[in-house]
Amino acid sequence: MKMKAIVTVTLKPSILDPQGEAVAHALQNMGVKGVQSVRIGKHIELEIEGGEEKALRAKLEEISKELLSNPVMENFHLDLRAGG
């Protein structure tokens, strides 16, 4: 069965996000009021051949830790669902 994994990578709260700040500033210039903060992350989609969910999840956790995110500065969230 084909599975889809969505890995969301975000900067740790302690890490300054100058990109997000620049966007927040641009929003202010647009005249948008009330935006408290902007944080920018990455949305990564993987299509994979499904197997036993627990093993698949473990593999994806490893991929996320080893390559897709850098644990020094980023957190990740894994969402695994059926379908391509």
Query: Residue numbers of the site for another protein (CB under 8 A)?
Result: 11, 15-19, 21-22, 42, 67-68, 70, 72-73
Distance CA 83, CA 47 (A): 8
Q: What's the number of CA atoms in the CB half-sphere (13 Å) around residue 77?
A: 8
Smallest separation, CB 56 to another protein (Å): 21
Query: Looking at beta carbons only, is 53 or 70 nearer to another protein?
Result: 70
Nearer to another protein, 3 or 69 (CB): 69
Least separation in angstroms between CB 64 and another protein? 12
Count of C-beta atoms within a 10 Å radius of residue 41: 17
